[in-house]
Amino acid sequence: MNVPCANLTVLVGQRFACVKIAGRANCNASVSFKTLLGELRQQGYPYIVLELSACALMDSTFLGVLAGFGLKANAPPGDGPAHAIELRNANERLIELLENLGVLHLFRITQGAVPAGETATPTALSPCDPSHEELTRASLEAHQTLMALNPENVARFKDVVKFLAEDLKKVR
Instruction: Break the chain into its structural domains and give their ranges.
Output: 7-128
* Cβ neighbours for 146, distance < 8 A, ≥ 6 positions apart: 60, 63, 64, 67, 101, 103, 153, 156, 157
Angle of helix 132-149 relative to helix 152-171, nearest 10 degrees, comes to 160
Cα–Cα distance, 166 to 13 (Å, whole number): 42
- Span 58-81, average pLDDT: 82
Predicted local confidence at residue 54, as pLDDT = 95
pLDDT above 60: residue 126 = no
pLDDT above 90: residue 128: no
The highest-level CATH class for domain 7-128 is alpha beta
Average pLDDT for residues 73-91, to the nearest whole number? 74
Name the amino acid, one letter, at 157.
F
pLDDT exceeds 60 at position 117: no
What number of other Cβ atoms are within 10 A of residue 3's Cβ? 12
Q: What is the pLDDT confidence band of residue 3, given thresholds at 50, 70 and 90?
A: low
Reply yes or no on whether the pLDDT at 118 is more than 50. no
Q: What is the mean pLDDT of residues 61-76?
A: 89
Please give the Cα distance from 39 to 49 (Å, whole number).
14
Average pLDDT over residues 150-158: 96
Q: If you average pLDDT over residues 125-144, what whole number do you get?
A: 86
